[in-house]
Protein backbone atom coordinates (compact mmCIF):
# COMPACT_ATOMS: atom_id res chain seq x y z
CA UNK A 1 0.00 0.00 0.00
CA UNK A 2 1.20 3.51 -0.70
CA UNK A 3 1.95 5.84 2.19
CA UNK A 4 -0.67 8.28 0.98
CA UNK A 5 -3.48 5.92 1.90
CA UNK A 6 -3.11 6.68 5.61
CA UNK A 7 -3.20 10.47 5.27
CA UNK A 8 -6.88 11.02 4.63
CA UNK A 9 -9.19 9.13 6.94
CA UNK A 10 -12.61 7.91 5.77
CA UNK A 11 -13.84 8.10 9.39
CA UNK A 12 -14.21 10.73 12.06
CA UNK A 13 -11.43 11.29 14.59
CA UNK A 14 -11.74 8.89 17.52
CA UNK A 15 -10.20 11.31 20.02
CA UNK A 16 -12.38 14.16 18.78
CA UNK A 17 -15.54 12.05 19.13
CA UNK A 18 -14.78 11.28 22.78
CA UNK A 19 -13.81 14.90 23.47
CA UNK A 20 -17.08 16.15 21.95
CA UNK A 21 -19.12 13.77 24.10
CA UNK A 22 -17.18 14.82 27.20
CA UNK A 23 -17.91 18.47 26.38
CA UNK A 24 -21.62 17.61 26.11
CA UNK A 25 -21.55 15.70 29.39
CA UNK A 26 -22.39 12.36 27.74
CA UNK A 27 -20.91 8.91 28.17
CA UNK A 28 -19.61 7.25 24.99
CA UNK A 29 -20.75 3.61 24.80
CA UNK A 30 -18.97 1.12 22.57
CA UNK A 31 -19.50 -2.52 21.51
CA UNK A 32 -16.87 -5.14 20.63
CA UNK A 33 -18.37 -6.38 17.38
CA UNK A 34 -16.37 -8.15 14.71
CA UNK A 35 -17.71 -9.95 11.61
CA UNK A 36 -15.76 -11.71 8.86
CA UNK A 37 -17.37 -10.34 5.71
CA UNK A 38 -17.57 -6.82 4.38
CA UNK A 39 -21.38 -7.00 4.22
CA UNK A 40 -21.72 -8.17 7.83
CA UNK A 41 -19.16 -5.78 9.27
CA UNK A 42 -20.55 -2.83 7.33
CA UNK A 43 -24.08 -3.59 8.51
CA UNK A 44 -22.87 -3.82 12.11
CA UNK A 45 -21.13 -0.44 11.89
CA UNK A 46 -24.24 1.14 10.38
CA UNK A 47 -26.44 -0.25 13.17
CA UNK A 48 -24.15 1.13 15.87
CA UNK A 49 -23.89 4.46 14.04
CA UNK A 50 -27.69 4.77 13.84
CA UNK A 51 -28.51 3.99 17.47
CA UNK A 52 -29.62 7.05 19.47
CA UNK A 53 -26.95 6.37 22.10
CA UNK A 54 -23.66 8.30 21.98
CA UNK A 55 -21.49 5.68 20.31
CA UNK A 56 -18.21 4.96 18.59
CA UNK A 57 -17.75 1.93 16.35
CA UNK A 58 -15.61 -1.14 16.68
CA UNK A 59 -13.98 -3.50 14.20
CA UNK A 60 -12.85 -6.53 16.19
CA UNK A 61 -10.40 -8.81 14.39
CA UNK A 62 -10.40 -12.58 14.01
CA UNK A 63 -8.11 -15.06 15.74
CA UNK A 64 -6.01 -15.86 12.64
CA UNK A 65 -5.20 -12.18 12.18
CA UNK A 66 -4.34 -11.78 15.86
CA UNK A 67 -1.59 -14.39 15.57
CA UNK A 68 -0.35 -13.18 12.18
CA UNK A 69 -1.70 -16.14 10.18
CA UNK A 70 -3.07 -13.98 7.37
CA UNK A 71 -2.90 -16.81 4.83
CA UNK A 72 -5.35 -18.89 6.86
CA UNK A 73 -7.64 -15.88 7.26
CA UNK A 74 -7.62 -15.27 3.50
CA UNK A 75 -8.27 -18.96 2.81
CA UNK A 76 -11.21 -18.97 5.23
CA UNK A 77 -12.68 -15.95 3.44
CA UNK A 78 -12.33 -17.63 0.04
CA UNK A 79 -13.92 -20.83 1.29
CA UNK A 80 -16.76 -19.14 3.14
CA UNK A 81 -15.57 -20.57 6.48
CA UNK A 82 -16.65 -19.10 9.80
CA UNK A 83 -14.31 -16.50 11.31
CA UNK A 84 -14.73 -14.89 14.71
CA UNK A 85 -13.91 -11.36 13.58
CA UNK A 86 -12.90 -9.15 10.67
CA UNK A 87 -9.61 -10.15 8.95
CA UNK A 88 -8.43 -6.63 8.17
CA UNK A 89 -5.06 -7.67 6.72
CA UNK A 90 -6.61 -10.26 4.42
CA UNK A 91 -9.27 -7.81 3.24
CA UNK A 92 -6.72 -5.02 2.76
CA UNK A 93 -6.89 -1.29 3.25
CA UNK A 94 -8.83 -0.39 0.11
CA UNK A 95 -11.55 -2.93 0.78
CA UNK A 96 -11.91 -1.76 4.38
CA UNK A 97 -12.15 1.86 3.23
CA UNK A 98 -14.86 0.96 0.75
CA UNK A 99 -16.74 -0.97 3.42
CA UNK A 100 -16.78 2.03 5.75
CA UNK A 101 -17.89 4.32 2.96
CA UNK A 102 -20.66 1.93 1.87
CA UNK A 103 -21.89 1.75 5.46
CA UNK A 104 -22.35 5.50 5.37
CA UNK A 105 -20.10 5.81 8.39
CA UNK A 106 -17.75 8.47 7.04
CA UNK A 107 -18.33 10.77 10.01
CA UNK A 108 -18.23 7.94 12.54
CA UNK A 109 -15.23 7.26 14.80
CA UNK A 110 -14.13 3.61 14.67
CA UNK A 111 -11.58 1.67 16.73
CA UNK A 112 -9.81 -1.55 15.72
CA UNK A 113 -9.63 -4.14 18.53
CA UNK A 114 -7.47 -7.23 18.13
CA UNK A 115 -5.54 -8.90 20.99
CA UNK A 116 -2.20 -9.34 19.22
CA UNK A 117 1.16 -9.25 21.04
CA UNK A 118 2.86 -8.58 17.67
CA UNK A 119 0.59 -5.97 16.07
CA UNK A 120 2.77 -4.32 13.42
CA UNK A 121 0.95 -5.89 10.46
CA UNK A 122 -2.42 -5.00 11.96
CA UNK A 123 -1.37 -1.42 12.60
CA UNK A 124 -0.11 -1.13 9.02
CA UNK A 125 -3.44 -2.44 7.76
CA UNK A 126 -5.55 -0.05 9.82
CA UNK A 127 -3.37 2.87 8.75
CA UNK A 128 -3.80 1.85 5.12
CA UNK A 129 -7.55 1.70 5.74
CA UNK A 130 -7.55 5.27 7.01
CA UNK A 131 -8.47 4.36 10.58
CA UNK A 132 -6.94 6.25 13.49
CA UNK A 133 -7.57 4.24 16.66
CA UNK A 134 -6.70 0.87 18.16
CA UNK A 135 -5.92 -0.65 21.55
CA UNK A 136 -3.69 -3.07 23.41
CA UNK A 137 -0.18 -2.74 24.78
CA UNK A 138 3.13 -4.56 25.24
CA UNK A 139 2.10 -6.14 28.55
CA UNK A 140 -1.68 -6.33 28.31
CA UNK A 141 -1.72 -8.01 24.89
CA UNK A 142 1.19 -10.32 25.65
CA UNK A 143 0.92 -11.93 29.08
CA UNK A 144 -2.70 -13.06 29.15
CA UNK A 145 -3.09 -13.99 25.49
CA UNK A 146 0.14 -15.49 24.20
CA UNK A 147 3.42 -17.26 24.78
CA UNK A 148 5.34 -14.50 23.01
CA UNK A 149 8.38 -13.41 25.06
CA UNK A 150 7.66 -10.07 26.71
CA UNK A 151 10.79 -8.40 25.30
CA UNK A 152 9.67 -9.36 21.78
CA UNK A 153 6.20 -7.90 22.39
CA UNK A 154 7.72 -4.69 23.77
CA UNK A 155 9.82 -4.25 20.64
CA UNK A 156 6.88 -4.95 18.33
CA UNK A 157 4.64 -2.51 20.19
CA UNK A 158 7.33 0.18 20.14
CA UNK A 159 7.59 -0.06 16.35
CA UNK A 160 3.80 -0.14 16.03
CA UNK A 161 3.37 3.00 18.15
CA UNK A 162 5.97 4.82 16.09
CA UNK A 163 4.32 3.80 12.84
CA UNK A 164 0.93 4.96 14.09
CA UNK A 165 2.32 8.26 15.38
CA UNK A 166 4.23 8.94 12.16
CA UNK A 167 1.51 8.04 9.70
CA UNK A 168 -1.71 9.18 11.41
CA UNK A 169 -1.94 12.70 12.85
CA UNK A 170 -3.99 12.56 16.03
CA UNK A 171 -3.85 8.75 16.22
CA UNK A 172 -5.37 7.28 19.38
CA UNK A 173 -4.17 4.24 21.32
CA UNK A 174 -5.95 2.67 24.30
CA UNK A 175 -4.08 0.71 26.94
CA UNK A 176 -5.70 -2.60 27.83
CA UNK A 177 -3.61 -2.65 31.01
CA UNK A 178 -6.54 -2.11 33.35
CA UNK A 179 -8.13 -5.35 32.15
CA UNK A 180 -5.28 -7.76 32.92
CA UNK A 181 -7.19 -10.72 34.31
CA UNK A 182 -9.15 -7.88 35.90
CA UNK A 183 -11.48 -10.07 37.93
CA UNK A 184 -8.51 -11.38 39.98
CA UNK A 185 -6.21 -8.33 40.20
CA UNK A 186 -6.42 -5.89 43.10
CA UNK A 187 -6.93 -2.44 41.55
CA UNK A 188 -3.56 -0.86 42.34
CA UNK A 189 -1.85 -3.23 39.88
CA UNK A 190 -4.43 -2.57 37.15
CA UNK A 191 -4.02 1.17 37.60
CA UNK A 192 -0.23 0.91 37.50
CA UNK A 193 -0.19 -1.25 34.36
CA UNK A 194 -2.55 1.07 32.50
CA UNK A 195 -0.45 4.12 33.41
CA UNK A 196 2.81 2.37 32.51
CA UNK A 197 1.47 1.46 29.08
CA UNK A 198 0.28 5.06 28.68
CA UNK A 199 3.82 6.25 29.45
CA UNK A 200 5.17 3.71 26.95
CA UNK A 201 2.80 5.00 24.23
CA UNK A 202 3.75 8.60 24.96
CA UNK A 203 7.47 7.91 24.78
CA UNK A 204 6.96 6.33 21.37
CA UNK A 205 5.30 9.39 19.92
CA UNK A 206 1.57 9.13 20.66
CA UNK A 207 -0.24 12.10 22.17
CA UNK A 208 -3.82 10.77 22.30
CA UNK A 209 -4.22 7.94 24.80
CA UNK A 210 -6.91 6.23 26.84
CA UNK A 211 -6.37 4.28 30.05
CA UNK A 212 -8.57 1.31 30.85
CA UNK A 213 -10.04 -0.16 33.99
CA UNK A 214 -12.25 -3.24 34.26
CA UNK A 215 -15.27 -3.25 36.56
CA UNK A 216 -14.45 -5.66 39.36
CA UNK A 217 -16.13 -7.12 42.42
CA UNK A 218 -16.92 -4.02 44.53
CA UNK A 219 -18.57 -0.78 43.42
CA UNK A 220 -16.96 1.38 46.18
CA UNK A 221 -13.52 -0.09 45.48
CA UNK A 222 -13.95 0.61 41.77
CA UNK A 223 -14.90 4.23 42.55
CA UNK A 224 -11.68 4.57 44.53
CA UNK A 225 -9.61 2.89 41.81
CA UNK A 226 -10.95 5.14 39.04
CA UNK A 227 -10.15 8.21 41.16
CA UNK A 228 -6.63 6.90 41.67
CA UNK A 229 -6.24 6.19 37.94
CA UNK A 230 -7.27 9.72 36.98
CA UNK A 231 -4.92 11.23 39.56
CA UNK A 232 -1.96 9.11 38.48
CA UNK A 233 -2.58 9.82 34.79
CA UNK A 234 -2.47 13.53 35.56
CA UNK A 235 0.89 13.06 37.27
CA UNK A 236 2.61 11.00 34.56
CA UNK A 237 1.07 11.82 31.18
CA UNK A 238 1.87 15.53 31.11
CA UNK A 239 0.27 17.38 28.22
CA UNK A 240 -1.03 14.17 26.61
CA UNK A 241 -4.69 14.17 25.59
CA UNK A 242 -6.05 11.28 27.64
CA UNK A 243 -9.33 9.84 28.84
CA UNK A 244 -10.50 6.84 30.85
CA UNK A 245 -12.39 3.85 29.47
CA UNK A 246 -14.29 1.45 31.73
CA UNK A 247 -15.07 -2.16 30.79
CA UNK A 248 -18.25 -3.85 31.91
CA UNK A 249 -17.17 -6.83 34.01
CA UNK A 250 -14.72 -9.00 32.04
CA UNK A 251 -15.15 -12.25 33.99
CA UNK A 252 -17.87 -14.90 34.15
CA UNK A 253 -21.09 -13.11 33.27
CA UNK A 254 -24.53 -13.66 34.85
CA UNK A 255 -26.62 -16.36 33.20
CA UNK A 256 -30.00 -14.74 33.82
CA UNK A 257 -31.16 -11.81 31.71
CA UNK A 258 -32.09 -9.68 34.77
CA UNK A 259 -28.70 -10.44 36.33
CA UNK A 260 -26.80 -9.56 33.15
CA UNK A 261 -28.78 -6.35 32.69
CA UNK A 262 -28.23 -5.37 36.31
CA UNK A 263 -24.47 -5.84 35.96
CA UNK A 264 -24.41 -3.86 32.72
CA UNK A 265 -26.43 -1.02 34.28
CA UNK A 266 -24.14 -1.06 37.32
CA UNK A 267 -21.11 -0.55 35.07
CA UNK A 268 -22.83 2.36 33.31
CA UNK A 269 -23.74 3.91 36.65
CA UNK A 270 -20.12 3.48 37.79
CA UNK A 271 -18.90 5.23 34.64
CA UNK A 272 -21.37 8.09 35.03
CA UNK A 273 -20.69 8.72 38.72
CA UNK A 274 -16.90 8.72 38.28
CA UNK A 275 -16.77 10.96 35.21
CA UNK A 276 -15.45 8.15 33.01
CA UNK A 277 -15.61 9.15 29.36
CA UNK A 278 -16.14 5.80 27.59
CA UNK A 279 -17.70 2.41 28.42
CA UNK A 280 -17.13 -0.92 26.63
CA UNK A 281 -20.33 -2.91 27.07
CA UNK A 282 -21.22 -6.57 27.35
CA UNK A 283 -24.57 -8.09 26.43
CA UNK A 284 -27.18 -10.34 28.03
CA UNK A 285 -26.07 -13.16 25.73
CA UNK A 286 -22.46 -13.32 26.98
CA UNK A 287 -22.93 -16.48 29.08
CA UNK A 288 -24.84 -18.37 26.39
CA UNK A 289 -23.69 -17.60 22.85
CA UNK A 290 -21.87 -15.14 20.64
CA UNK A 291 -23.86 -11.88 20.79
CA UNK A 292 -25.60 -10.57 17.70
CA UNK A 293 -25.78 -7.03 16.38
CA UNK A 294 -29.21 -6.77 18.00
CA UNK A 295 -27.79 -7.89 21.36
CA UNK A 296 -25.14 -5.21 21.13
CA UNK A 297 -27.55 -2.44 20.17
CA UNK A 298 -29.74 -3.37 23.14
CA UNK A 299 -26.68 -3.26 25.42
CA UNK A 300 -25.58 0.13 24.07
CA UNK A 301 -29.01 1.66 24.57
CA UNK A 302 -29.43 0.10 28.03
CA UNK A 303 -26.06 1.40 29.19
CA UNK A 304 -26.65 4.85 27.75
CA UNK A 305 -29.99 5.17 29.53
CA UNK A 306 -28.53 3.87 32.81
CA UNK A 307 -25.75 6.46 32.63
CA UNK A 308 -28.20 9.30 31.96
CA UNK A 309 -30.34 8.38 34.97
CA UNK A 310 -27.52 7.38 37.35
CA UNK A 311 -27.80 8.43 40.98
CA UNK A 312 -25.49 7.76 43.89
CA UNK A 313 -26.31 5.95 47.12
CA UNK A 314 -24.49 6.01 50.49
CA UNK A 315 -23.27 2.45 49.82
CA UNK A 316 -21.37 3.63 46.73
CA UNK A 317 -18.76 5.59 48.65
CA UNK A 318 -15.34 4.02 49.23
CA UNK A 319 -13.83 3.75 52.69
CA UNK A 320 -11.98 6.79 53.95
CA UNK A 321 -8.48 6.75 52.49
CA UNK A 322 -9.22 3.91 50.07
CA UNK A 323 -8.52 5.96 46.94
CA UNK A 324 -5.36 7.30 48.56
CA UNK A 325 -4.17 3.78 49.37
CA UNK A 326 -4.76 2.55 45.81
CA UNK A 327 -3.06 5.64 44.40
CA UNK A 328 -0.03 5.20 46.68
CA UNK A 329 0.36 1.52 45.84
CA UNK A 330 -0.01 2.13 42.11
CA UNK A 331 2.47 5.00 42.26
CA UNK A 332 4.98 2.80 44.09
CA UNK A 333 4.64 0.18 41.35
CA UNK A 334 5.07 2.73 38.56
CA UNK A 335 8.11 4.28 40.24
CA UNK A 336 9.69 0.89 40.91
CA UNK A 337 9.52 0.15 37.18
CA UNK A 338 10.71 3.55 35.99
CA UNK A 339 13.68 3.48 38.37
CA UNK A 340 15.00 0.27 36.81
CA UNK A 341 16.05 1.94 33.56
CA UNK A 342 15.66 5.26 31.76
CA UNK A 343 14.40 3.38 28.70
CA UNK A 344 10.91 2.08 29.46
CA UNK A 345 11.34 -0.57 26.76
CA UNK A 346 13.99 -2.14 28.98
CA UNK A 347 12.40 -1.24 32.30
CA UNK A 348 9.15 -3.17 31.73
CA UNK A 349 10.74 -6.58 30.99
CA UNK A 350 13.23 -6.01 33.83
CA UNK A 351 10.36 -5.31 36.23
CA UNK A 352 8.71 -8.64 35.40
CA UNK A 353 12.04 -10.47 35.60
CA UNK A 354 12.59 -9.13 39.13
CA UNK A 355 9.00 -9.64 40.21
CA UNK A 356 8.32 -5.91 40.67
CA UNK A 357 5.32 -6.53 38.43
CA UNK A 358 3.54 -9.85 38.90
CA UNK A 359 0.05 -10.74 37.61
CA UNK A 360 -1.87 -13.07 39.93
CA UNK A 361 -2.75 -16.43 38.36
CA UNK A 362 -1.12 -15.50 35.01
CA UNK A 363 0.86 -18.47 33.64
CA UNK A 364 3.04 -16.63 31.09
CA UNK A 365 6.70 -17.68 31.31
CA UNK A 366 7.84 -14.09 31.95
CA UNK A 367 5.50 -13.66 34.92
CA UNK A 368 6.91 -14.42 38.38
CA UNK A 369 3.67 -16.14 39.50
CA UNK A 370 4.20 -15.32 43.18
CA UNK A 371 1.37 -12.82 43.60
CA UNK A 372 -2.01 -14.03 44.83
CA UNK A 373 -5.29 -12.29 45.62
CA UNK A 374 -8.64 -13.03 47.23
CA UNK A 375 -12.11 -11.54 47.59
CA UNK A 376 -12.75 -10.44 51.16
CA UNK A 377 -15.99 -10.65 53.12
CA UNK A 378 -17.18 -7.30 51.71
CA UNK A 379 -16.52 -8.27 48.11
CA UNK A 380 -13.31 -6.29 47.66
CA UNK A 381 -10.26 -7.68 45.88
CA UNK A 382 -7.30 -7.85 48.28
CA UNK A 383 -3.74 -9.11 48.15
CA UNK A 384 -3.03 -12.48 49.74
CA UNK A 385 0.59 -12.13 48.69
CA UNK A 386 2.32 -9.55 46.49
CA UNK A 387 5.47 -11.57 45.93
CA UNK A 388 8.32 -9.09 45.39
CA UNK A 389 6.09 -6.20 44.37
CA UNK A 390 6.29 -3.03 46.49
CA UNK A 391 2.69 -3.25 47.71
CA UNK A 392 1.88 -1.67 51.05
CA UNK A 393 -1.36 -3.49 51.82
CA UNK A 394 -0.08 -7.01 51.17
CA UNK A 395 0.43 -9.27 54.19
CA UNK A 396 3.91 -10.56 54.84
CA UNK A 397 5.06 -14.07 54.14
CA UNK A 398 3.93 -16.48 51.46
CA UNK A 399 0.25 -16.94 50.78
CA UNK A 400 -1.26 -20.38 51.09
CA UNK A 401 -1.91 -22.07 47.78
CA UNK A 402 -5.35 -21.53 46.28
CA UNK A 403 -7.35 -24.66 45.54
CA UNK A 404 -9.49 -25.20 42.47
CA UNK A 405 -12.74 -24.75 44.40
CA UNK A 406 -11.62 -21.42 45.87
CA UNK A 407 -10.39 -20.18 42.49
CA UNK A 408 -13.68 -21.12 40.82
CA UNK A 409 -15.60 -19.39 43.60
CA UNK A 410 -13.61 -16.21 43.00
CA UNK A 411 -14.16 -16.38 39.26
CA UNK A 412 -17.92 -16.89 39.65
CA UNK A 413 -18.44 -14.44 42.54
CA UNK A 414 -19.92 -11.63 40.43
CA UNK A 415 -22.02 -13.97 38.28
CA UNK A 416 -23.56 -15.66 41.32
CA UNK A 417 -24.13 -12.38 43.15
CA UNK A 418 -26.08 -10.79 40.31
CA UNK A 419 -27.95 -13.96 39.36
CA UNK A 420 -28.95 -14.52 42.98
CA UNK A 421 -30.42 -11.02 43.15
CA UNK A 422 -32.16 -11.61 39.83
CA UNK A 423 -33.92 -14.70 41.24
CA UNK A 424 -35.86 -12.52 43.67
CA UNK A 425 -39.55 -13.37 43.05
CA UNK A 426 -40.27 -9.67 42.64
CA UNK A 427 -38.10 -9.60 39.51
CA UNK A 428 -39.97 -10.51 36.36
CA UNK A 429 -37.98 -12.98 34.26
CA UNK A 430 -37.01 -11.91 30.77
CA UNK A 431 -36.34 -14.34 27.91
CA UNK A 432 -32.89 -14.42 26.35
CA UNK A 433 -33.13 -12.73 22.93
CA UNK A 434 -33.04 -15.18 20.06
CA UNK A 435 -29.77 -15.40 18.15
CA UNK A 436 -29.77 -13.52 14.87
CA UNK A 437 -28.13 -14.68 11.69
CA UNK A 438 -25.16 -12.36 12.06
CA UNK A 439 -22.76 -13.27 14.83
CA UNK A 440 -20.00 -11.25 16.48
CA UNK A 441 -17.08 -12.19 18.61
CA UNK A 442 -17.23 -11.49 22.32
CA UNK A 443 -13.69 -10.74 23.34
pLDDT tens-digit series, residues 180-194: 887 789 999 999 999
Per-residue pLDDT, 3: 38
Per-residue pLDDT, 439: 33
Q: Can you give the length of the chain in residues?
A: 443
Angle between helical axes of 150-167 and 120-128 (0-180°, round to 10): 20
CATH of the domain at 193: 3.20.20.240
Instruction: Annotate 405-442 with b (16+ C-beta within 10 A) or e (fewer).
Output: eeeeebeebbbebbbeebeeeeeeeeeebeeeebbbbb
Per-residue pLDDT, 265: 97
Is the pTM for the entire model greater than 0.95? no
Q: 94 Cβ partners below 8 Å, 6+ apart?
A: 1, 5, 128
Q: Please give the residue range of the domain that contains residue 297.
A: 3-316
Q: Is residue 347 part of a domain?
A: no
Per-residue pLDDT, 9: 61
Q: How far apart are CA 177 and CA 232, in angstroms?
A: 14
Per-residue pLDDT, 31: 97
- Taking the chain (443 residues) in runs of 10, the rounded mean pLDDT of each run is 44 93 97 94 95 96 96 96 95 94 84 97 96 97 94 98 96 96 89 98 98 97 98 95 97 92 97 98 88 94 97 95 96 98 98 97 95 93 94 72 81 89 59 44 37
Angle between helical axes of 93-102 and 120-128 (0-180°, round to 10): 50
Q: How far apart are CA 408 and CA 420, in angstroms?
A: 17
Q: How far apart are CA 186 and CA 29, in angstroms?
A: 25
Residue 255 CA from chain centroid, whole number: 22
Q: Is residue 64 part of a domain?
A: yes
Q: Is residue 266 part of a domain?
A: yes
Q: Is residue 241 part of a domain?
A: yes
Q: What is the pLDDT of residues 218-273, one digit of tens each?
A: 999 999 999 999 999 999 998 899 999 999 999 889 999 999 999 999 999 999 99
Per-residue pLDDT, 426: 52
Q: Is residue 346 part of a domain?
A: no
Q: Is residue 321 part of a domain?
A: no
Label the pairing between strands 241-247 and 278-280.
parallel
Q: Is residue 424 part of a domain?
A: no
Instruction: Return phi, psi of residue 388, to 5°.
Output: -100, 5
Per-residue pLDDT, 145: 83
Domains in the chain: how many in total? 1
Burial class (CB in 10 A: 0-12, 13-18, 19+), 342: exposed
Q: Is residue 236 part of a domain?
A: yes
Amino acid sequence: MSASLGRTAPTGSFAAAVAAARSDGELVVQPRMGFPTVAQMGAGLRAVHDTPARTVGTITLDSYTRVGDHASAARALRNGEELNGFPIVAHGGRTTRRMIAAAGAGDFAIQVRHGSPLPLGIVQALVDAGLDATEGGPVSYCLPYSRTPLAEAVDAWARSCELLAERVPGAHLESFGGCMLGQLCPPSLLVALSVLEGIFFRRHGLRSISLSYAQQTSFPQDVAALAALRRLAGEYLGDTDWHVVLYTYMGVFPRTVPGALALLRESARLAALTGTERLIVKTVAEAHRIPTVEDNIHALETASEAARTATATPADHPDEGEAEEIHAEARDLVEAVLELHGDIDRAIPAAFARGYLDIPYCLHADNAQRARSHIDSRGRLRWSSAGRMPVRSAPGGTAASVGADELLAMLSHVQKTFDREALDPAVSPEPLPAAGRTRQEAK
